[in-house]
Structure 1
């Protein structure tokens, strides 16, 4: 492995279990305040996450980034371990693009229906569903 003082452990956990666990030189997450890049020996930090892409530069694959679609949650970094606890997460290689595009179309229809009915609760839920679907689509297409 690369020089241990320059190595970061990145793990992503959802209610369904461990989704991702690798050694990295850097991880970039989308927090509610913007993107945050973390490298080994970064100061301890806890940050809430938006629906967005997590990018991981793995030690064993220089020049390559793993991409993971994360749907909210939070990130903690301490002692060169970055842990992400997410509502749901899916690695780019595991995303079914056809299913993600169908989810986008359903969300768009729900948005239109909620607007016609002036149902703000349904509208907000449908907008979040659309964000999640678009995140999955964008992560899949980025590989």
Structure 2
């Protein structure tokens, strides 16, 4: 691995989702805000928000829809442990659109019956669906 590259690995409870050793920049949304990571960055650990993780290299940019978890960076290795993660080509667009519609219906119902727990769960489901659609390009 060249001195200006970093290795990015994304794993979930179901196994490895992404592995690349020639990334030039990693962009992710942490609990503290959006963060860009280049080679030789200081080591850190951070929680992740529901958002796209962008992995740039000299020839392209990959996006992975990540739903929660954390990232650890040290010695030019970024390890992301996520609750769930999907690359743009793995996302089932119809399923994501259906999840978005269901979440919107649950939000409307929760507001009608003033159920704050249902509302919070539905808002998270909506964020996940929108993230998946955004990463898929739809």
Shared fold (TM-score, shorter chain, > 0.5)? yes
In structure 2, list runs of 5 or more residues that go unmatched: none
1:32-82 Cα deviation digits (max 9, x unpaired): 111111111110011111000000013xxx241000000011111000000
Matches within 5 A, 1:81-96: 81-96=77-92
> Whole-Å Cα distance in 2 between the matches of residues 63 and 35 of structure 1?
23
> Whole-Å Cα distance in 1 between the matches of residues 70 and 98 of structure 2?
27
Partner of 1:9: 7
> Whole-Å Cα distance in 1 between the matches of residues 102 and 31 of structure 2?
26
Secondary structure, counterpart of 1:54 in structure 2 = strand
Partner of 1:28: 27
In structure 1, list runs of 5 or more residues that go unmatched: none
1:128 aligns with 2:127: no
Matches within 5 A, 1:27-66: 27-58=26-57, 62-66=58-62
Q: Which moved more, 1:130-139 or 1:30-39?
A: 30-39
1:112 aligns with 2:108: yes
Partner of 2:63: 67
